Amino acid sequence: MKKKLYLVRHGQTLFNRLHKTQGWCDSPLTELGKKQARAAGKFLQNVEFDAAYASTSERTNDTLELIRDMPYIRLKDLREMSFGTFEGADEYLQPKNWFIDNPSAFVQYGGEDMADVQKRMNETITAIMEMEGNDTVLIVSHGGAIGNFLHKWAPETVKMIRSQRGIPNCTVSEIEYDPATKTFELINMTDPGRWYMD
């Protein structure tokens, strides 16, 4: 029997608003980010989750807590890609078109290779979905990390991600996991903030 994963990007943060590079560094949710998280909660209000997970970043923890009042597990391997010495710097200073043309652009600056991010995300999420009783799961992670994961299983999303400069905050990716083949299928991506904002 297939399992269901709801993979959510965190709400808008202060660094998002200021266009600062934010990977392993952190900043708090803005008021808009909190509204986005509550909107995602309304969108998911009829889903019964067996388990919930988030990265170790404050921004994902706060987002998950606003989506659903339930116990959850924090995992480092769900965190955002590391951008090395670019952490906290203005986004315009990043190497041009790195997401598409140069996936290892940040390695020379102490950051991560996108292939490594994809590997850790895929291994971690697969392990979560393989756990007995985890039939419907909520995971709150990050735009770059989610983008790398989706690039493996739904590469056609890359064009969409490029066109809108990333995955919008609190976008919900509805994904099916097949334990028999250990594969994921993206069913739908929804930005609840468009309809459920306070």
Q: What is the pLDDT of residues 162-174, one digit of tens each?
A: 666 789 999 999 9
Taking a C-beta distance cutoff of 8 angstroms, is the pair 63, 31 a contact?
Answer: no
- 10 appears as a binding residue in the annotation: yes
DSSP codes, 119-176:
HHHHHHHHHHHHSTT-SEEEEEE-HHHHHHHHHHH-TTHHHHHHHTTSPPTT-EEEEE
- 78 appears as a binding residue in the annotation: no
151 is catalytic: no
42-51, pLDDT tens digit by residue? 999 999 999 9
- The domains of the chain, with CATH numbers, are 3-80+114-196 (3.40.50.1240)
Residue of 10, 87, 142, 151 with catalytic role = 10
Helix (H, G, I), strand (E, B) or coil at 61: helix
Residue type, 69: D
> Hey, how many other C-beta atoms are within 10 angstroms of the C-beta on 165?
10
Residue type, 20: K
174-190, pLDDT tens digit by residue? 999 999 999 999 999 99
| Structure-block tokens of residue 86 | 């670019």
Residue of 19, 58, 80, 176 with catalytic role = 80
- 162 appears as a binding residue in the annotation: no
Q: Tell me the HSE value of 24 on the side-chain side, using a 13 A CA sphere.
A: 13
Reported pTM: 0.95
80 is catalytic: yes
- 38 appears as a binding residue in the annotation: no
